[in-house]
Amino acid sequence: MSDTRANRRFRSQEWFDNPNNPGMTALYVERYQNQGYTREELQGEKPIIGIAQTGSDIAPCNKIHVFLMDRIKAGIRAAGGIPMEFPVHPIQETGKRPTAALDRNLTYLGLVEVLHGYPIDGVVLTTGCDKTTPALLMGAATADLPAIALNGGPMLDGWWKGKRVGSGTIIWESRRLLAEGKIDYDEFMSRVCASAPSLGHCNTMGTASTMNALAEALGMTLTGQSAIPAPFRERMEAAYQTGQRIVEMVYADLKPSDILTREAFENAIVTNSAIGGSTNAPPHLVAVARHAGVELNTRDWQSVGFDVPLLLNMQPAGEYLGESFYRAGGVPAVMAELARAGRIHEGCMTVSGRSMGDNLAGIEVLDREVIRSYDRPMRENAGFLVLSGNLFDTALMKTSVISPEFRARFLEQPGHEGIYEARAVVFEGPEDYHDRINDAALEIDEETILFIRNVGCIGYPGSAEVVNMQPPDAVLRKGVTHLPTVGDGRQSGTSESPSILNASPEAVVGGGLAYLKTGDRVRLDLNACTMDALVDEAEWQSRRDAWQPPEIRNQTPWQEIYRTHVGQLGEGGCLELATAYRGVSRDLPRDNH
């Protein structure tokens, strides 16, 4: 990395200033010039900074970026760069069917093609809604040209009748109240809509706030920007500073490969435990790592992150929402607390051009009610457990959301703490679940374990957030709000359910969940980190031999391409062939005429 502005030739000059091919140069210049860029701008030896725009009317969680664009561009120009905004394929978590997760890899592919095929020297990644953040980080890792992330920030806190109501989390709670007959449909709708009072992404520590916190923990954002609420003045300032900084990064040739090291991913895992982050973080972070060429797997989440305490008191693991998190100091305050406990690799390079330790120096927690100290945390051992057994090779359990009632009921039977044995009821997907959950013939009681299968990457397709299944109404009315649930899909990061999820391999490719039957006994052992169907080996083998994969029907060409190339959630759910490509921005494409 050098920081000299003299004698620097940018990759965009291969398009706009190539004396070896004047015809092509003219063609490239005239068609960018016609929208107002001057020849001097295009040929003036200034870097072209792409801005990957994820916001639009159809992607409201990221819509704020439409309004931040002026500030990003102003920052780029002030630092001597030329901004060029371009759209990426939208990923709206609450809009896209069958699931936004299907499109993460499509957005990734599209971004890689833009960064490879256009005259771009550095890129601002506008992140926010759940999958936009990993998709853009994955694309930046594959392209490996200077890149900096800027999220749109969470919505303002939601309030309903004097109580904080948070994105997603309020839905799961209100659905139970509706099922128990405690509220009517009108109140249900009003409560849920109150949780979204402004532009921005989810204001709980769901997947959006999680992934943006992890982008910051990885070193891919300016310090302190990820928690700034979307409508705040500081968010506009961060947009301006991000624009300025990316130009300096291009001059310094500071690339994702300088930042995304194994140690940086470990910082992200540790931070995730401390903030009570989403169960979607492991597949997304593993995917970013694989595209960056860094060894990281699902088991690392337990070995690196399990024994980290929960420091942040934010829904769904705690009480507060995004505004309080920001005012308490945001991600740097949490990371500084972790660094003081020796849990952060402080030497990691970041987009600031300084180390993580330098970025965190002198940062204090501003509100101890919201961000606890390492010695007096919300709870100890708040990371994920990674389970295995005859039902799957890996599945995750988020321990920071296990409530005292759930722990007492299922995990603290005197004499066998952490061990739970019960009867399984199996659903073939969310439609089957909705059809039959209240069917008395299933004999679901307050002891039952609920399973759902065929909802993974290939099965759904894309892997659906459906594992946090609500108990039947009759069980809810007895005051039991959660049963243990298990599945090969995911659950919303805003859910407070301690489900066992992301089971890999999934049932439709012959993972162990495929052979489970309603009525089987299942044993969960959190001490040994195992979950097994208690079915004898001969019987299990005969079910395996008799198994026929369910029929899969693609509705679009992308679904077929995705299903053909996608791996399992345990390996990040990547397009497997794509993980072999690295540094593609340096492999210049041929001229186009």
Which residues of the shown chain bind ligand FES in the complex (CB under 6 A)? 61, 93-94, 129-130, 167, 201-202, 206, 208
Region near Mg ion per CB under 5 A, out of 80-88, 323-331, 485-493, 508-516? 485-493
- Residue 492 interacts with Mg ion (CB under 5 A): yes or no: yes
Handedness of CA 25, 35, 251, 125 (dihedral sign): negative
226 binds, among ligand FES, Mg ion, none (CB under 5 to 8 A by kind): none
Region near Mg ion per CB under 5 A, out of 148-156, 491-499, 518-526, 551-559? 491-499
Cα–Cα nearest to 212, from 232, 231, 226, 229: 226
Region near Mg ion per CB under 5 A, out of 87-95, 456-464, 526-534, 559-567? 87-95
Q: State which amino acid sits at residue 357.
A: G
Helix 262-275 to helix 330-340 angle (10° resolution) is 110
CB nearer to Mg ion: pick between 399 and 492:
492
CB nearer to ligand FES: pick between 130 and 173:
130
CB 498 within 8 A of CB 485: no
Cα–Cα nearest to 534, from 545, 526, 523: 523
250 binds, among Mg ion, ligand FES, none (CB under 5 to 8 A by kind): none
CB nearer to Mg ion: pick between 167 and 399:
167
CB nearer to Mg ion: pick between 281 and 292:
281
Region near Mg ion per CB under 5 A, out of 407-415, 458-466, 517-525, 540-548? 458-466
- Beta strands 416-417 and 412-413 are antiparallel
DSSP category for residue 407: I
| Min separation Cβ 433 and ligand FES, Å | 22
| Min separation Cβ 492 and Mg ion, Å | 4
Give phi and psi for 83, each to the nearest 5. Answer: -80, 140
465 binds, among Mg ion, ligand FES, none (CB under 5 to 8 A by kind): Mg ion
CB nearer to ligand FES: pick between 61 and 508:
61
| Min separation Cβ 510 and ligand FES, Å | 32
Tokens at residue 254, please? 């500071």
How many amino acids of this chain bind Mg ion (CB under 5 A)?
A: 3
d(CA 512, CA 531): 11
| Min separation Cβ 168 and ligand FES, Å | 7
| Min separation Cβ 300 and ligand FES, Å | 26
Residue 443, classified by CB atoms within 10 Å of its CB into exposed (0-12), middle (13-18) or buried (19+), is: exposed
Distance of CA 236 to the CA centre of its chain: 23
DSSP character string of 99-135: -THHHHHHHHHHHHHHHHHS--SEEEEEE-STTHHHH
CB nearer to ligand FES: pick between 99 and 499:
99
d(CA 154, CA 157): 8
Of 103, 121, 157, 465, the one binding Mg ion by CB under 5 A: 465
Contacts with Mg ion by CB under 5 A lie at: 93, 465, 492
